[in-house]
Amino acid sequence: MESRYHQVYARWKADPQGFWGDAARELSWFKSPERIFDPDRGIYGRWFPDAECNTCYNCVDRHVEQGRPGQNAIIYDSPITGTAEKYTYSDLKDAVSALAKVLIEKGVEKGDRVIVYMPMIPQAVFAMLACARIGAVHSVVFGGFAARELATRIDDCAPKAVLSASCGIEPGRVVAYKPLLDEAIELSRHKPDFTLIYQRPQAEANLIEGRDHDWSTQVATAAGAEVPCTPIKATDPLYILYTSGTTGQPKGVVRDNGGHMVALKWSMKAIYDIDPGEVYWAASDVGWVVGHSYIVYAPLLHGCATILFEGKPVGTPDAGVFWRVISEHKVASLFTAPTAFRAIKKEDPDGALIEKYDLTGFRTLFLAGERADPDTVQWAEDKLQVPVIDHWWQTETGWAIAANPLGLGMLPVKHGSPTVPMPGYDIQVLGTDGHPVEAGQMGSIAVRLPLPPSCLPTLWGNDERFKGSYLSEFPGYYATADAGYMDEDDYLYIMARTDDIINVAGHRLSTGAMEEVLASHPDVAECAVIGAADSLKGQIPTGFVVLKAGVDRAHADIEKELIGLVRQKIGPVAAFKTAITVGRLPKTRSGKILRGTMRKIADGEEFKMPATIDDPVVLDEIATALKQRGFGG
C-alpha cells in the first residue's frame, strides 16, 4: 500500500485546526470544542479552549456504555510474583468508581493534586483513572526513585494525598515503599492530608494512625458506589509528570485533558495501526511517560486491552518472557525500549526462545526512549520477522514527534532514523545562529510553535522555567534539547542531547543532579559526571571527583561512599556504579569542565584537543584513570 503519510501531513500543515478538529470527533465531550485553538491563551496558545470533557469517561465509561463492558481492559501479568489477573471494562469502572468515592470522601476535590507512588499493579492504573474521574491531578512517581526525589515532588505539587503500595518487587529483592514514603513526608515541607496504602503480601507496611489508611478496607466500604465523571475543561491539567532537567530540581511537565486525549486517540490507529478490541502492550512502567500514554491512556481511549507487565525482559524467569506474554495474550503490538532488546539479545543471541511460542498474531515492534541502534533493530527484525519501528518523543510531548505511521501506510525503514515528523510537528534543524541548516547537516532539533495537542502547555507552577528551558533559545520554536539531522527525504536522525541529560536503560537522568549529590560529600572539592557508552544500557553515568586538599582517606572508601550517596539521594534507577578519583578535571582556560571530551575518551572515540584547554596533560591523566576501570574502547 502506498503510504498516505505525505498527503496527511500536508493536510495538517494546510489546516491544523481542521485536522485536530476532525480528530476530536473521535471522543466524547460534555461540551464539544467549538474553538479548536486559541493563540492568545497560555504561553503559546491552547487547544480546545472552550471544550469540556473527562478523560476517565473516555477511557472507561464510554466503552461500558458502547459495547465493550465484558471485554478485557487490563491484563495484569506479573511473572515476578507469579500472578495474573484480568479486568473487563465493567470491572475497571467498578474499581475506579470505588476508589474515586474513597478519594472524594477523604476530601479530594477537582484540581487537587494526588501523588501515586506505586509498582506495576492494577491499583496504580485505578489510582490514575480515579483521579481523572474526579478532576484531581495525579503525579505518578517512579518506584526506583529515592525518598528525597519523592520529597522534592511532594513539595513542588503539594498533593492532598499520596496513594502507594507496601512494596515493589525487583529481581532478588522486595523494595519496601512505605519507609521511603515515610521518609519523604518527613523530609518535605508540604505534608499530604492522608495516604492510602495497598498492602501486598510480599511486605506488609506499618500504617500511621490518622494519616495512613488501608487501601483495600477503604475501597471495600465504597464498593458499588456510583461516582459520575466530573466535567472538566479540556485545558485543565490531567497530570503532572516530573522529568529530569539540568539541575536536581525536576521539571513538572503538565498534561491537559482535551489535547492529550485527541492526540493519543489519533496515534493509536495512525501510528500504531491498532484497532479497538485488540491487545496492546507497552513494556515500560507507569512511572514514565511511555507508561502514562501507552500502558494507560491511549489503549484505553481506543477500547483496547492493555497489558500491565510486572517483570523484566530477562530473568523473570528468562529471555523468553516477552514471547510468552505475546502468545498467551494475543498481543498485536509491543512497544518497549531498545535496551530491553539488547538485554534479550545478550541472553538469547540466536533467539532460540522465540521458537517456543506462537507469535502469529504479533504484527509490530515499536521502540523508543533512547536511540535505537541499528544492530539491535536488525536483530529484532531478523528474529521476529515483523516491522521494527523506531519512534522519537519526550515526556514533554506525550506522543511521537517522529515516527513511521503504520496506519497511514508504512514508509520505508531506514535504520538509525525514527522516520518522519508526525502531523502537528513542524520540525526544523537549527544552527547556532538559529537558522535552519541544510539537509544532512547536524543542528539543534526544534519544533515551530505552536506545539500540537498533548504537548506541555507549561511546567507546573513555573511558567518562567518553561519559557527559559524550552522557548528562549530559538524564538518562535520549542527546543527539544536533542541534536541531529534530517536527510533529503525528511527522515530525522536523533544523535545526542544538547544538555547534560543522559539516557540509562531508556531512563532519562540528569548528570547535573548527580553532580549535586557528589559535591555534597564532605571530601569532594569538585566533580563531573558523564554518560559513558554501555552495550546494554546505552549509557551509564561515570563520576570523576577531585578531593579537597588534605583529605588522606583511601580513595576506594570515598568512591564507595559516593556510589552509596547517589543511590540514597536519587535512587537505584540512577545506576551510578563508577566513581573515579582524579587529581584534576580538564577545563578550558575560562574554567568550563570539558565533559564532552571526557566522554569521548571514555568511549574510545577520536577527539580534537580543545584549543582553549587549560592544561592538556590532565586529559592523559583522565585517560589513564578510565583505562584502569576498563573504559576507553
Binding site for ligand COA (CB under 6 A): 143-144, 168, 170, 175, 284-285, 288, 290, 312-314, 336-337, 339-340, 343, 369, 504-507, 572-573, 575
Of the pair 300, 492, the CB lying nearest ligand AMP is at 492
Report in angstroms how near the CB of residue 604 gets to ligand AMP at its nearest: 21
Write down the least CB distance from residue 541 to ligand COA, Å: 11
- 192 lies in the binding site for ligand AMP (CB under 6 A): no
**Of 33, 119, 320, 369, which lies in the binding site for ligand AMP, with binding defined by CB under 6 A?**
369
- Residue 400 interacts with ligand AMP (CB under 6 A)? no
Of positions 325, 359, 494, 562, contacts ligand AMP by CB under 6 A: 494
Among 119, 299, 418, 586, binds ligand AMP (CB under 6 A): 418
Count CB neighbours of 284 within 10 A: 23
Nearer to ligand AMP, 257 or 339 (CB): 339
Secondary structure (3-state) at 388: strand
Task: State which amino acid sits at residue 162.
Answer: V
Q: Which does 390 bind (CB under 5 to 8 A by kind): ligand COA, ligand AMP, none?
A: ligand AMP
- Give yes or no for residue 368 binding ligand AMP (CB under 6 A): yes
Give strand pairing partners of 309. Answer: 77
Residue with smaller CB distance to ligand COA, 159 or 338: 338
Does residue 390 bind ligand AMP (CB under 6 A)? yes
DSSP-assigned letter for residue 509: E
- Binding ligand AMP (rule: CB under 6 A), the pick from 267, 339, 364, 395 is 395
397 near 390, Cβ under 8 Å?
no
C-alpha–C-alpha distance, residues 302 and 268, integer Å: 7
Asked if residue 250 binds ligand AMP (CB under 6 A), the reply is no
Q: Which of 149, 482, 515, 603 binds ligand AMP (CB under 6 A)?
A: 482
Contacted entry of ligand COA, ligand AMP, none for residue 494, CB cut-off 5 to 8 Å set by kind: ligand AMP
Contacts of 22 (CB under 8 A, 6+ apart): none
58 binds ligand AMP (CB under 6 A): no
Nearest distance from C-beta of residue 392 to ligand AMP, angstroms:
4
Q: Rounded distance, CA 514 to CA 521, Å?
A: 12
Angle at which helix 338-347 crosses helix 374-384, to 10 degrees, equals: 70
Amino acid in the structure at residue 341:
F
Q: Could you give the maximum distance between any two Cα atoms of the chain, in Å?
A: 74
- The least distance separating ligand AMP from the CB of residue 501, rounded to whole angstroms, comes to 7
292 touches ligand AMP (CB under 6 A): no
- 562 vs 406, 542, 557, 568, CA distance in Å? 46, 11, 9, 10
Cβ distance to ligand AMP smaller for residue 179 or 416: 416
CA 587, distance to chain mean position in Å, is 33
Nearer to ligand COA by Cβ, of 94 and 370: the residue is: 370
344/530 with CB nearer ligand COA: 344
Of residues 394, 444, 454, 542, which one binds ligand AMP by CB under 6 A?
394
Residue 108 or 481 with smaller CB distance to ligand AMP? 481
Q: Which residue has the cell 547537516?
A: 441
Q: Which of ligand COA, ligand AMP, none interacts with 503 (beta carbon under 5 to 8 A by kind)?
A: ligand AMP
Judged by CB under 6 A, the chain residues 149 through 178 that form the site for ligand AMP are none
Upstream peptide bond of 179 is cis (omega within 30 degrees of 0): no
Q: Which residue has the cell 547556532?
A: 432
Cβ–Cβ < 8 Å for 470, 253 = no
Closest CB to ligand COA among residues 509, 580: 509
User: What sign results for the dihedral spanned by CA atoms 101, 107, 109, 111?
Assistant: negative
497 touching ligand AMP, by CB under 6 A:
yes
Q: Which helix (H) or strand (E) holds 220?
A: helix 215-221
In one letter, which amino acid is 9? Y
Q: What is the DSSP string of 576-596?
A: --EEEE-S---BBTT--B-HH
Angle, vertex CA 25, rays to CA 70 and CA 306, nearest 5: 35
Q: What is the Cα–Cα distance from 212 to 224, expressed in whole angstroms? A: 23
Instruction: Report, in Å, the least distance between residue 486 CB and ligand COA.
Output: 24
In DSSP terms, 531 is beta-bridged to 541
Stretch that binds ligand AMP, among 44-52, 208-216, 267-275, 391-399 (CB under 6 A): 391-399
Strand pairing category for 279-282 and 305-309: parallel
Site track 499-538 with ligand AMP (rule: CB under 6 A), x = hit? ----x----x------------------------------
Contact 264, 454 (CB under 8 A): yes
Nearest residue (CB) to ligand COA, 170 versus 328? 170
From residue 161, alpha-carbon distances to 158, 462, 524 in Å are: 9, 22, 38
User: Residue numbers of the site for ligand AMP (CB under 6 A)?
Assistant: 243, 289, 368-372, 390-395, 418, 480, 482, 494, 497, 503, 508
